[in-house]
Structure formats: structure tokens, C-alpha cells
Amino acid sequence: MIIARHFWHVVLVSVTLAFVLVGPLKSATVSGRVVDGQTKEPLPGVRVALVGTGKGAISGLDGTFLIKSSSQAQCRLKFTYSGYRDTTLQLDLASDGNLSGIEVGISRLTGKDQEVIITGSVDHGSDASSQQAVRVSDNVINTVSARTIEVSPDVSVADVSQRLAGVSIARTSVGDAQYAIIRGMNKRYNYTTVNGIKIPSPDNKNRYVPLDIFPSELLDRLEVTKSLLPSMEGDAIGGAMNLVMKHAPNREILTAQVASGYDGLFFDRKFATWDATSSNRSPRVENGDAYKATLGAFPISYFTPHNVSPSPNIYSALTYGNRFGENEEFGMILSGTYQSSSRGANTVFFQTDVAQDAVMPIPTDLELRTYSTLQQRSGLTGNLDYKLDDNNSLTLFGMYARLNKQELRTDYDTTVSLGYPKSIRLTTTIRATDEQQGIGNFTLGGTHKIFGKDLEANWNVAYSSATLNQPDRSELQLYGGSEFDSASGLYKNNPNIVNHGTRRWTYSIDQDKSVYLNLKTTEDIGGTPIVLTYGGMYRNKARTSSYDEYKLEANNGSTIQYYNGDITKDTFYVANPLGTPQDFLNYDAHENIAAGFGQAKVQIGNLTVIGGVRFEQTTFGWTSQIDPNLYDGKTGELTYLDVLPSLSLKYSPSEQQNWRASFFKSISRPGFFEVIPNQGVPGDDYTEYTNDSLNRTQAMNFDLRWEYFPGGLDQLLIGGFYKHLQDPIEYAVEYVKTSVLLRPQNFGDATNYGFEIDFRKYFSDFGVQGNYTYTNSQITTDKQVKYRDTDPAQTLRTRMEPQTRPLEGQSAHIGSLGLLYKNFESGTDAQLSAVYTGPAITAVSFYKDLDVWQKGYVQLDFSGEQRIAGNLTLYLKISNLLDAAHDEVIHYTYDPKNYGNSPMSSQVAGQDVLVRHELFDRNYILGLRFKL
């Protein structure tokens, strides 16, 4: 349409004068609002000078400014803002010397001097107010901008995601946000893109991408798309998380920041670490299948952790961007960041079993765990763009993000005696995990207007890779405990004896090669312009996973290996020097997706209709480690076609309001590992199988939203959604004759509906923003019930019964509330933000009604910054102010009478049975930021 035709008139500069209600003014003031001339987005922090008077102001959070003027017939206002062209306006004042309600649009600095200053008439109640990305979008999205991220306490993109309406997060063992749960749909139902290009996952079994890999500083914007258009990949049911990385600015920029911090947990205890010196690849992968590993391949340092005071955390970032060339046709930006932090958690964990003939959890072990995790997060992103001419431009984007974790976990596991405390077993497990995850992406793209600018072509060629490397995850297990000595009436401690160690290498690489081509034309059909977009993509994915686990047996066969604190005195032998080449995590998989779509956009009056359909043809194949002489399924291939229609309606009765309704169909593909056949892996309780007849999940999604933009950056979004899922995937046990197997399965239908409210309101220097989402999902799956049969023998049996519950990870209530203060004059910025996550299932039990629920909790974070010199800002971030506990329970009331009449540590009579109680403490960051 018109916008499209003028799309390459990159510089659209307008100064619109408009009346905006800013309340009654008393005397001789000039007031108004300053906005981006193109996007109409209010600009906070613009210096507004009343020329010739020395008076001025800085626009507030909502872009408003107010200057006390001396009465003159006319005044000249000069607007100065970094990245924008200086703009001066001559204005007539009212007879009393006042001028109010003007809206001034200023233009971005660009290479071409094409600015047009349009001076409109002063118009009371103008609807020429802000238009935000959310507002002009064709579909339902929510965003967080770089500026919001900068002043937030967030360190990784996963942290940022929890600020979005309808998003809750799953955390790591040390309490850091890791995965996004969108509208109660767990990670499996969402995908992640970088600048719109889907990226692979480093996970060696699944598709979903851990968001804690990405440092937040690389972002220009984080978007979550909740309704898909045909032009988007169709395998998101909850939503698609798009990381929009920094792009080349319009003028030279340089920002640098450095900060340090400390985790409050380590005020109270030491940080455990070890020397991680093992080889990057397993002895087998490095030396071939016939290679017999010797003890030399397994450094003993992994079994000998030592305590240190953690070095202070470091957070640093550097960004440089500029534009070159005669016409500034060449732009670049390079941004790098490095973070190193020592994190931890203290955990009480109960292992639970189930009673033999009742729906009742039985704690069997009480584990006390401490985690010490060193996280090193680094990221590099670069973006080059080159404008050949008005019709042709090219971009080259590169990104690499890496997260290294070194985690030491000590676990003291004591048996729960249930009234028979004559002997107490203690198993000590020391686990050292060295893990590196990396995600990289290179995208070359172009936009061309051809055939007299009537056809716009947009193409991208992308290479992405994701790697997971866990070199030598080590575990050492010691047996100890005490026995009651009837002679003395005392407990006698038994010495610790080394049981065994395991050493595990995990490696996975997933590589995508993709091409995308989209074409856009505008056709005039019966006088109505229709924007047609069609295109296609093809992606080849290749994934390789390797896995080896070596068992180091203590030499107890010859001499008992007592542990006296010095493991080097003990001796081991390698029980399986060849590794585990036949483990099912050694596999190759490929997936080719060919997709095409067509999409039409029509505007009829205030109604915008976008409809279309997407076709995705998926070909998935594998080669597994299964023995082809014995079993089916060594190799396999599966092809299917999806037809994914989508329809979005947007009705805008006024500039301040949008009504949206949308429908789309989408899918979610099973994880790679889940469908590759295996012959059954003996697990703790069940033999675990994969499921090669697992279907992808298909969903019908409906959205309704009302958007209200009363002015400025203020907004109120109220929406509802309904999803119907066919074949959702859940892990469940299954009875095959008399065997009970565990495997991923499709479970009929599930529904998920809810509503969201998202609001933001600014009062000059103050702002408040918040969101609330109610979600109600239901899925019915078969669960086990143990019971005693009424047959003459009263046999203990297990039957399957359906249980209806929410989807894993779905909280009925989630919400966030943020209070902001920003004073541009003094350069002060402060933010207090709270996120509430309501109860949700974190582990689905295989037994009926015994799911593990995380209790609701509030995370409260503070961040504040103060400009201390021209370009220098000092900032402070404190996360988890309330030291919120992460508690998990089973909904079964604890009564000591049911548990051998002996009170259990940490369990409280009359409350739900506790499964996990975890504390992370507060995290402090103090830093300096330099901005040119």
C-alpha cells in the first residue's frame, strides 16, 4: 500500500503540531510532547531549549516537556537529542504567552537531506499521537525495548522475557531464568528466532532454546509473538520469541559498561570449585571405538573439589556503531559482552515414592544439596548494512553467544526411616558439571525493489549452529551412615566407603542451513489495494549427538576403599573402558523443512484483514545406534505436510483503539530424540522407550484483543485467547501386556484459554507498568494408581486412571508490576519490579494426583542509576530482594501418623508434603556505563 510504496523513503520527517490534553496551565508556559517523527513514539530525555532565553527542559518518560517562558508573541524551540537531527521551530504563542499541547516530531539522523517539516495546525485532541510497534503490528505481539532492558535488573534474555505479559519462566538449579513458558505453554510449544531467523537448540534431545545463553546487552528489542502470520514458521503454539539484535545506528555511537557484583549466598558459605582439565571429547570419540580408556583420561581433580571465596562477578559490554560512505550508505555495529558470575543455591530435597495401595506420597530420602555455579556468558554480534541505491540494500548479520557453566553440586542423601531409625544410610554424591553451550548465526540478506518498484523481494541465506559440550560430567558416590549400637545406646558412625564414580561426555551439534524468499506486491482489485505477500523457505538441519559414560569402580574388590577426605588415597578401575557407543544418545538426525506461504492484506475503512495460508513439508530422518541385526528402526524417515491457515482482523475505530481478532493453526514437532527408536533403556523404575509413532501436536489458536493508547507511551491491552491442542505430547507410563513402559505419548486433546491485561501509565517522571495473565489449561492423561485387588489373594496391582490437570509449567495467575522513576535533569533512574508466578506443576507424576507443584512466589528486583558526569552513569542492580524461596510440594497433607509416627525434618503437619525447598539469596551488581 502507500506505506509500502514509500518504504524506501527511509527518512520521513514530520513535525506535527497537535493539541494534546496536558491539563490546565497557569501562566506563561510552553508545554507539549516530543515524539519520533516517523514512529510517533514519545521520546524521553530530549533537550528542549527556548532559544535566546537560556531556559529549557528535558522531556519526561512520556515525552512531555514544560518550560516556563517569558511572554513573547513568538518563541523558538530547539530540540536536541542524540541520534536525531537538531530541530528548531518558530511558534506563535497565545495572547497570554502560553502555548500548550503541541506535539513535535523530530527526525532521525540519516545520510540524506530529505527532511520535510510539516507544520500542522494546532489541533485539540489530535489523534496523531504515538504509534508503537505493538500498535502497528499486524498480529498480537508484546515487546520489551533495549532502553527498558538497560535500566532493568536483567542480565540474560531469559530474565528479560519474564517482563512480558503472559510469560513465566522455568529456572535453573541456581535460580536463574532459563526457559520461557508462554501463556502456560511449556518450552516444547514455543520457538526462538534471532532477527526472524529460527535458531537451533544446543539441547541433545529437544528443540527448545535456553534463553539464558543470550546476554541481554545484545538486544535491541525482545518480541513475543502470540499469533502467527502465514509468513512466520508455523511450529509455535504458545508463541514465538524473537530476539531483535542491535542494528547499525544513524551516527557514531559508543557505549561501554563495566560492573561488578556478588551473590549474597556467599556471604554465608564458600564457593566450591574444582580444576576442570579433562579432554573436550570423550576418550572414545577422540580415539575411536576400539580405544580402551585408562584412568589417565579421568583427572582425579573432579573428585577433589575445594572451597574458595568466589571472585567478584564481572559484567561488561562494549558497543560501537557508525555509518560510512559518501551518502552514509554503509552502516555497521559491533557489540560484545562478557559476564562472569558465581551463583549458588542451597536446597532441601525429598525423594518420594508412592504407597503400595493408596494415592499417597512416601518420602524415601532427604537430600541436602549445595550448588556452586560459575557462569561465563559471552556474546558477540555484528551487523553490516549496505544500501546500493534506493531500491537495493544488503545486510550481513553475525552473532555468537556462549554460556559456560561449571557447577559443583554436593548432595547428602539420608534415608527416611519412617519410625525405624536403627540404621541411617548416608550417601554423599559430589557432582562436577562442566558445560559449554554455544549458538551462532550468520545471515546474509537483501531487499530489492524490482519491476518499477512494484515488486519488493526480500531474501535471506542463513547458517546457524548450536552446540552443547559437557566434557566429563563427573560424579563420585560415597557410602556412609550410622547404626544404632544397642550395647552403648548410641549411634555409631560408619566410615565412608567409596562406591564408584561416573564420568560422562555429552556432545551435540545442530546445524541449520536455510534460504528464505519473500515477495510483496500491491494489486488493485476493484479499487481496493491488496498487499500480497508470498514466499517460501527451505531449511536443512543436521544434528549429531554423541554420548559416553564411563564407570570408575572403586577397587573394593581387592582393598576396601575408605574415604577419609582425600580421594587420592583411593584407587579405582575403569569398568567400561570402551565407553557407551551403543547408548541411544549417539544418533544422527536430519530434518528438511520446505515451506511456502501466501498472505493477503486488505484495508477496508478502519478494518484491516490479513489472511493466508502456510504449507510446511517436514522430512525427518535418523540413524541410531540400535543393532540392525536384532531390532527394527536403525534408520527411518518420516514425511508430513501441514496446512496452516491464519486470519487476522484489526479494527481501528480511532487512532487510540484497536480491536483485534485472529485465528491461526500451528503445530509443535516432537523432540528429535523422542522419536528415534530404541530397544528400551532400563531406568530407575521403568524401562524407557522412545516413540517412533509420536505425532506432532496440532493446535487451533484464537485471540481477541482490545488495545487502547490514551496518549504518550501509555497503553492498556486487554486480550483473551483460546487454544485447542490435538495430540499434545506428555511423558507417561504405558502398559503393554504386563510390562509398564515409560515413553512420550500423544494424549488426545487439550485446551488452554485465558486472558491478559497489560498496562503502562506515565506521569512525567514516574511510571507504572504491569501485566496480569490468567491461564486455564486442561489435559487428561492416564496415570497409575496402586491398589489392592479384592481377589482372594488381595494382590497389589496397578491400574491406569485418567487424571485431568493443567499443563506442566502453567500457572493460573502470573503478573508483574513495575514502578519507574526517571529524572532527565538529574540523570536519575530507578525501577522496582515485582513478578508473581502462581502455583504450577513442575513435574508430572506417573501416579495419579501426585504431581509436584511449585508454590506461588514473588520475585522483587531493584535497579537504579545516576548520571555522575556527562557521559558516565553509575548503576546498581539488586535482584531477588525478598530472597524468595523456591518451594515444591505434592498436594497431600502431611500427617506424621501416616509416616511411622516419627516427625520428619522440614515437613510440617497439616501442610502439603514438601518436595523441595530452595534458596538463592540476593544478587548485587554495581557498575559504570559510558555512552557517547
Partner 1 sequence: MSSSTATTFSVFASNFDYLTNPFDMKLLDKMYTRTLTLSAVFVATLVMTGTLLFSGCSSTTTSPVVSTKLTQVGNLITSDTLKGAMKGTLATGHTYYLVSDLIIPRGDTIVMQPGAKIIVLNTSPGSTTAPEITLLGTFASLGTKDKPNYITIDPSQQTYTNLPLGNWAGIQGDTGSGDLILKWTHIEYGGAQDRLGKNNYIIWFQSQNHNFILEDSWITGGQDDAIRVSGGHVSCMRNTFECGGYKGGDAFNVKSGTVGDIAYNVFMGAPTNGPKLSNKGGSTVQTNCNIYNNTIINCGWRQYQVGRSGSTNIEEGARGTEYNNLIVNCRTGLRLFNNPLADTAHVFYDAQFYYASRDNIRDDAASFGGFYPGDGIQVHMPLDVAGGTRQNDPQFVNYDVNKFAGLDSAFVQKSTMSRWTEDMTRVAGYDLHLKTSSPAVGKAFVGPAPVQIPMRACPQGGDFGANTIGLGRDFGAFQSDGTGNQH
Query: What residues between 490 and 529 interact with partner 1 by CB under 8 A?
Result: 492, 494-495, 497, 499-500, 515, 517, 519, 521, 523, 525
CB of 518 to partner 1, least distance (A): 11
How far apart are the C-alpha atoms of 635 and 545, rounded to whole Å?
15
Nearest residue (CB) to partner 1, 572 versus 721: 572
* CA 513 vs CA 129, 191, 444, 645: distances in Å: 43, 17, 12, 26
The span of 215-223, 429-437, 574-582, 602-610 binding partner 1 (CB under 8 A) equals 574-582
How far apart are the C-alpha atoms of 679 and 772, rounded to whole Å?
46
CB of 786 to partner 1, least distance (A): 8
Question: How many residues interact with partner 1 (rule CB under 8 A)?
Answer: 128
Q: What contacts 667, CB < 8 A, 6 or more positions away?
A: 234, 235, 237, 616, 642, 644, 696, 697, 698, 699
Interior CA angle at 805 toward 802 and 807, to 5°?
120
CB of 411 to partner 1, least distance (A): 15
Nearest residue (CB) to partner 1, 118 versus 796: 796
Q: Considering only residues 685, 749, 825, 883, which one is a binding residue for partner 1 as defined by CB under 8 A?
A: 685
CB of 205 to partner 1, least distance (A): 18
Q: Considering only residues 710, 797, 893, 909, which one is a binding residue for partner 1 as defined by CB under 8 A?
A: 797
Give yes or no for residue 635 binding partner 1 (CB under 8 A).
yes
CB of 100 to partner 1, least distance (A): 50
Residue 96 corresponds to which amino acid? Answer: D
For the four alpha carbons of 630, 631, 632 and 633, in that order, the dihedral sign comes to negative
Give yes or no for residue 590 binding partner 1 (CB under 8 A).
no
CB of 63 to partner 1, least distance (A): 41
CB of 630 to partner 1, least distance (A): 7
Nearest residue (CB) to partner 1, 117 versus 530: 530
- What secondary structure, in 3-state letters, does 623-652 show? ECCCCCCCCCCCEEEEEEEEEEEEEEEEEE
Going by C-alpha positions, the residue among 199, 200, 156 that lies closest to residue 177 is: 156
Cα maximum dimension of the chain: 105
Q: How many CB atoms lie within 10 A of CB 855?
A: 18
Q: Considering only residues 11, 403, 416, 820, which one is a binding residue for partner 1 as defined by CB under 8 A?
A: 416
Give yes or no for residue 598 binding partner 1 (CB under 8 A).
yes
Nearest residue (CB) to partner 1, 95 versus 564: 564
The span of 177-185, 259-267, 332-340, 787-795 binding partner 1 (CB under 8 A) equals 787-795
| Binders in 424-483 for partner 1, by CB under 8 A | 424-427, 450-451, 454-455, 457, 459, 479-483
How far apart are the C-alpha atoms of 262 and 538, rounded to whole Å?
46
Q: Considering only residues 501, 611, 838, 839, which one is a binding residue for partner 1 as defined by CB under 8 A?
A: 611
Give yes or no for residue 344 binding partner 1 (CB under 8 A).
no
Give yes or no for residue 914 binding partner 1 (CB under 8 A).
no
| Binders in 653-682 for partner 1, by CB under 8 A | 665, 675, 677, 679-682
Nearest residue (CB) to partner 1, 479 versus 753: 479
Beta bridge partners of 332: 322, 384
How far apart are the C-alpha atoms of 23 and 620, rounded to whole Å?
62
Q: Considering only residues 329, 353, 367, 765, which one is a binding residue for partner 1 as defined by CB under 8 A?
A: 353
How far apart are the C-alpha atoms of 879 and 647, rounded to whole Å?
41
Q: In what order do the strands lie in the sheet with 29-36?
A: 64-68, 29-36, 99-106
Q: Considering only residues 25, 828, 900, 926, which one is a binding residue for partner 1 as defined by CB under 8 A?
A: 900
The span of 18-26, 504-512, 790-798, 882-890 binding partner 1 (CB under 8 A) equals 790-798
Nearest residue (CB) to partner 1, 140 versus 593: 593
Q: What contacts 812, CB < 8 A, 6 or more positions away?
A: 774, 775, 776, 806, 838, 839
CB of 394 to partner 1, least distance (A): 14
How far apart are the C-alpha atoms of 201 and 208, rounded to whole Å?
6
Nearest residue (CB) to partner 1, 26 versus 737: 737
Provide the b/e sequence for 168-187 (b: ≥16 CB within 10 Å).
bbbbbbbbbbbbbbbbbbbb
Nearest residue (CB) to partner 1, 143 versus 391: 391
| Binders in 362-401 for partner 1, by CB under 8 A | 362, 364
How far apart are the C-alpha atoms of 696 and 620, rounded to whole Å?
12
CB of 386 to partner 1, least distance (A): 19
Give yes or no for residue 576 binding partner 1 (CB under 8 A).
yes
Contact at 8 Å (CB) between 519 and 542? Answer: no
| Binders in 33-62 for partner 1, by CB under 8 A | none
How far apart are the C-alpha atoms of 46 and 32, rounded to whole Å?
12
How far apart are the C-alpha atoms of 321 and 330, rounded to whole Å?
11
Q: Considering only residues 21, 94, 575, 868, which one is a binding residue for partner 1 as defined by CB under 8 A?
A: 575
Nearest residue (CB) to partner 1, 125 versus 628: 628
* CA 29 vs CA 24, 53, 62, 65, 105: distances in Å: 11, 13, 18, 10, 20
Q: Considering only residues 105, 331, 612, 818, which one is a binding residue for partner 1 as defined by CB under 8 A?
A: 612
Length of the chain counted residue by residue:
932
CB of 239 to partner 1, least distance (A): 21
CB of 685 to partner 1, least distance (A): 6
For the four alpha carbons of 559, 564, 569 and 572, in that order, the dihedral sign comes to positive
Nearest residue (CB) to partner 1, 623 versus 842: 623
How far apart are the C-alpha atoms of 127 and 378, rounded to whole Å?
44
Contact at 8 Å (CB) between 707 and 714? Answer: no
The span of 531-539, 747-755, 774-782, 807-815 binding partner 1 (CB under 8 A) equals 531-539
Nearest residue (CB) to partner 1, 622 versus 875: 622
CB of 516 to partner 1, least distance (A): 8
Site string (274-313) toward partner 1, x via CB under 8 A: ------------------x---------------------
| Binders in 694-753 for partner 1, by CB under 8 A | 695, 698, 726-727, 733, 735, 737-742
Q: Considering only residues 559, 606, 826, 911, which one is a binding residue for partner 1 as defined by CB under 8 A?
A: 559
Nearest residue (CB) to partner 1, 558 versus 804: 558
| Binders in 90-149 for partner 1, by CB under 8 A | none
Going by C-alpha positions, the residue among 243, 621, 281 that lies closest to residue 441 is: 243
How far apart are the C-alpha atoms of 350 and 850, rounded to whole Å?
14
CB of 463 to partner 1, least distance (A): 16
Q: How many CB atoms lie within 10 A of CB 59?
A: 25
The span of 16-24, 48-56, 168-176, 485-493 binding partner 1 (CB under 8 A) equals 485-493
How far apart are the C-alpha atoms of 659 and 454, rounded to whole Å?
30
Contact at 8 Å (CB) between 686 and 735? Answer: no
Q: Considering only residues 123, 549, 655, 849, which one is a binding residue for partner 1 as defined by CB under 8 A?
A: 549
Give yes or no for residue 796 binding partner 1 (CB under 8 A).
yes
Provide the b/e sequence for 658-668 (b: ≥16 CB within 10 Å).
bebbbbbbbbb
Specify the 3-state DSSP secondary structure of 674.
helix
The span of 81-89, 355-363, 403-411, 761-769 binding partner 1 (CB under 8 A) equals 355-363
Nearest residue (CB) to partner 1, 424 versus 757: 424
